[in-house]
Structure 1
Amino acid sequence: MKKYRGYLIDLDGTIYQGKKRFPAAQRFIQRLQANHIPFLFVTNNTTKEPADVVANLADNHDIYVQEQNVYTAGMATAAYLAQDANRQHREKTALVIGENGLKSVISQAGFDLFQADPAYVVAALDYDVTYEKLAQATLAIQQGAQFIGTNADALIPTERGMLPGAGSIIDLLRYATHVEPVLIGKPNDLIIKNAIELLHLPADQVVMVGDNYQTDIKAGMKAGIDTLLVYTGVSTPTEVKQEPVAPTHEIESLDDWEV
């Protein structure tokens, strides 16, 4: 097995499934920490801020990390919005379909989330999504707002099973408006390239670890880094065998991987 100097690691389906613990994942993180190998949890989950992710890992999974170990699609989206608004000379206003974790990081980036005619519409996973929210977003996009999707996950793994993800909401707006969104999170490589820069390591020394071929693995491939697919979440061996390009590594459990 190749030895990597840095790891980018998915959360949902890789480290846990909802509140379900993955003991092998806990042992994997402990091995990284014992060997002083830097890592970032790179997650498409936009519902939480880094502090919430850290607290969830500690309280529910006995995994103890720092906020600096977390990089979310929400953080990447806020960074993209700020850069795009400056580059395009657009107002820093946004209508956000999403949870408070996403709204908070976008607000911290200097955006007004309450203006009637927003320059941006950001769509993400929203546990309280309503027809009215979708109607407002549809109208704003039709009127010229830039359409941003945080990530394309059609499903998210939970203790209840596979539930609709952000991609399902984004696709509804795409279908309604006939406008293609700018996608920020995995499988887009933007979030991965940002994360690699945060590790301060060469790309060929970093590996992307995840359970979902369509998001985690494709994002790593697009960013030009090695990939490690663990079969604990979304993707199955049968599905992956049908893909034209295989992950760099495939394992059944994170216990099978030596750091």
Structure 2
Amino acid sequence: MTLDLSTIRTVLFDMDGVLYRGDQVLAGVDELWRWLEAQGVHYACITNNASRTPAQFTQKLADMGLQVPPERIITSALTTNVWLRERAPQGTTAYAVGMDGLRDVLFGDGYFVEQTERPAYVVVGADFELTYAKLRTACLAIRAGAQFIGTNPDKTFPAEEGIVPGCGALLAALEAATDVQPMVIGKPERAMFDTALHLLHAQATTTLMVGDRIDTDID
């Protein structure tokens, strides 16, 4: 199959492992973005990493010399929030295992109410400060009937020092403890790409995805 790049108007870039590893930008990224701009091709970042908010990712990229505004960064946490709001009314209770990137979008404006006992949803994202207590609370809530939601399926995460456990590893632990399979929202699920196309006013037929994992970026 031959790809006709002349038809591409938008390019979506995965972030971890594609633009950078840890805090080190990968070679050629800035030059590629300047070339795309010269060709009139829009680009944005789409990541399964739910640990940071778009604004925090903007700052991380800026620290590495890359300039991307928050509105051009779509995270799995953002997509999960959109998916949930299409199905749950304001005031619905939820318990989140995750970091700022997930907690801010879920609870920041008060749409969802954080609750540890018998919440309607348990939402799990990457959590680099994970404790047994968090897993225990999530496990009990799921066993009590909460709907089990995962922001993304990535079992591992490319850190600067090497490969470390990702969100998928947390989901696997909770699935083993509850016998409940999570509903996963992030890449490669369609909801992630539909959200990106909607927010960027782009068309699927003229959009290219660039990633480093066939199982989550392309499949």
Amino acid at match of 1:98: G
Aligned to 2:20: 16
The equivalences for 1:14-163 within 5 A come to: 14-59=18-63, 61-86=64-89, 92-108=92-108, 110-163=111-164
Counterpart CA distance in 2 for 1:50 and 1:117 is 30
Partner of 1:210: 211
Once the two structures are aligned, what percentage of the paired residues are identical? Answer: 37
- Contact in 1 for aligned 2:96/2:124 (Cα 8 Å): yes
Shift of 1:128: 1.2
Corresponding letter in the other structure for 1:34 = A
CA deviation after TM superposition for structure 1 residue 117, in Å: 2.0
Partner of 1:233: none
| Separation in structure 2 between the aligned mates of residue 16 and residue 128 of structure 1, nearest angstrom | 22
Question: Residue type matched to 1:23 in 2?
Answer: A
Q: Distance in 2 between matches of 1:207 and 1:131?
A: 40
- Offset of 1:38 from its aligned partner? 1.6
Cα distance, 1:32 vs. partner?
2.1
Cα distance in 2 between the residues matched to 1:10 and 1:177: 31
- The runs of 4+ residues in structure 1 deviating greater than 4 Å are none
The CA deviation string for residues 156-187 of structure 1, in whole angstroms up to 9 with x for no partner, is 11110111000000111111111111101012
Partner AA of 1:122 in structure 2:
V
Distance (whole Å) between structure 1 residues aligned to residue 86 and residue 108 of structure 2: 14
Q: Distance in 2 between matches of 1:201 and 1:70?
A: 14
Query: What are structure 2's unaligned runs of at least 5 residues?
Result: none
Task: Give me the TM-score of the superposition, normalised by structure 1.
Answer: 0.79
Residues in 2 aligned to 1:83 and 1:205: alpha-carbon distance in whole angstroms = 27
**Superposition deviation, residue 132 in structure 1:** 1.2
When normalised by structure 2's length, the TM-score is 0.93
**Partner residue, 2:166:** 165
- Unaligned runs of 5+ residues in structure 1 are 219-259
Amino acid at match of 2:20: Y
1:29 aligned counterpart, secondary structure: helix
Aligned position for 1:188: 189
Deviation at 1:24, TM superposition (A): 1.2
Q: How many residues align?
A: 214
Contact 1:15 1:26 in 2 (8 A): no
RMSD: 1.5
